[in-house]
């Protein structure tokens, strides 16, 4: 077999593999129950929620809580240095004003 033929066969094989991988990826959509479990796990681990809190709640109810907590965490992570220094100054000011 010549080198050109081998390259052509390799290209066809790679294309076939990519099509199979894309098909598998498209089939792996997360179900609502899987998303619910993931959100509950996130809320338990980051905000200390207990499982009892989520009993009887629907996906939509949990989604609202999750979005609020997740957005708050992102907001905290992307604070600028100036915002953090301003908060520190406010805390120091309130400590100094507190009677001892």
- Please list, in sequence order, all residues whose beta carbon lies within 8 angstroms of the beta carbon of residue 50, skipping any fewer than 6 positions away: 44
Phi, psi of 55 (to 5 degrees): -65, 130
Q: Count the Cβ atoms, other than its own, within 10 Å of residue 13.
A: 10
Percent of the chain with pLDDT over 70: 92
In which domain, by residue range, is 24 found?
1-30
For residues 17 and 55, state if they share a domain.
Answer: no
pLDDT in tens, 47-87: 888 989 999 999 999 999 999 999 998 888 888 888 888 98
Task: Give the torsion through C-alpha atoms of 33, 36, 42, 43, to 10 deg.
Answer: -150
- Please list, in sequence order, all residues whose beta carbon lies within 8 angstroms of the beta carbon of residue 59, skipping any fewer than 6 positions away: 32, 33, 35, 36
Residue 100 has pLDDT above 70, yes or no: no
**Count: domains in the chain:** 2
Helix (H) or strand (E) holding 2: none
For residues 43 and 72, state if they share a domain.
Answer: yes
């Amino acid at each position: 077999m010549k080198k050109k033929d081998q390259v052509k066969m390799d290209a066809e094989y790679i294309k076939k593999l990519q099509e199979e991988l894309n098909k598998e990826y498209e089939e792996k959509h997360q179900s609502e129950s899987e998303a619910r479990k993931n959100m509950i796990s996130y809320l338990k681990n980051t905000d200390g929620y207990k499982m009892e809190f989520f009993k009887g709640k629907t996906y939509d109810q949990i989604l609202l809580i999750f979005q609020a907590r997740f957005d708050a965490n992102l907001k905290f992570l992307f604070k600028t240095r100036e915002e953090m220094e301003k908060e520190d100054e406010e805390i120091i000011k309130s400590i100094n004003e507190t009677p001892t």
